[in-house]
Amino acid sequence: MMRALALAFALIRLAGGFPGGSTGDKASLRPGDFVLVKTLTAAGASGWTDTGLEVRAGEEFWFEASGTICLQTGNEEAYCGPEGIQVRTMQQPLPESNLGCLVGRVLREVVIVEDPKTKEKTVREYGVAFPIGKAGPAVIPADGRLFLGPNENVTGDNDGAFAVRVYRRG
């Protein structure tokens, strides 16, 4: 299994790169327009890390991230920084961005659904993800609570962490 995934990584690398990181017209924004509001560590294995920040759609943020995570412990091909790996899989929140790159997610709603027969409760989260990468501005896509994590859905086998500085428009 590990070997198969390593091979998949290698093959996709050969197939060429993908765009990752940032989007949109950000040329007019400068770091000096922002105020540092949070410094946190987003562990690769934690999935989404809560920033504790409530955000609104259209707000402008600036992010700076460093550190290295491993997307599959033991796989030499699976290390990356906040810019991620130039790989695309079906198992990532943002399919158009690099696998493992730092992404934001605004959690909009948490719904607890109860099965009418078994009475078993399931928690469903609804969020909107957006690309961050290594450093730069980002426009918040929705109202809600801001979380940060790697652009990957299978995070339980990860290692390492990103150190992230979060700046809000002053």
Q: Give per-residue burial for 107-126: e unless 16+ CB within 10 Å, then b.
A: beeeeeeeeeeeeeeeeeee
Is position 154 an interface residue for Ca ion (rule: CB under 5 A)? yes
Stretch that binds Ca ion, among 33-41, 53-61, 132-140, 148-156 (CB under 5 A): 148-156
How far is residue 99's CA from residue 26's CA, in Å, rounded to a whole number?
Answer: 22
Least distance in angstroms from the C-beta of 109 to Ca ion: 26
Q: Is 157 a residue that touches Ca ion (CB under 5 A)?
A: yes
**Residue whose tokens read 């948490």:** 110
b/e code 20-59 from CB counts within 10 Å (16+ = b) = bbbbeeeeebeeeebeebbebebbbebbbbebebebeeeb
Instruction: Decide whether 22 or 158 has the Cβ nearer to Ca ion.
Output: 158
Query: Which range in 80-88, 92-100, 133-141, 158-166 contacts Ca ion by CB under 5 A?
Result: 158-166
In the DSSP assignment, the letter for residue 26 is -
Using the minimum distance from each CB to Ca ion, give the nearer residue, 16 or 156: 156
Per-residue binder mask for Ca ion (CB under 5 A), 63-82, x = binder: --------xx----------
Q: Which residues bind Ca ion (CB under 5 A)?
A: 71-72, 154, 157-158
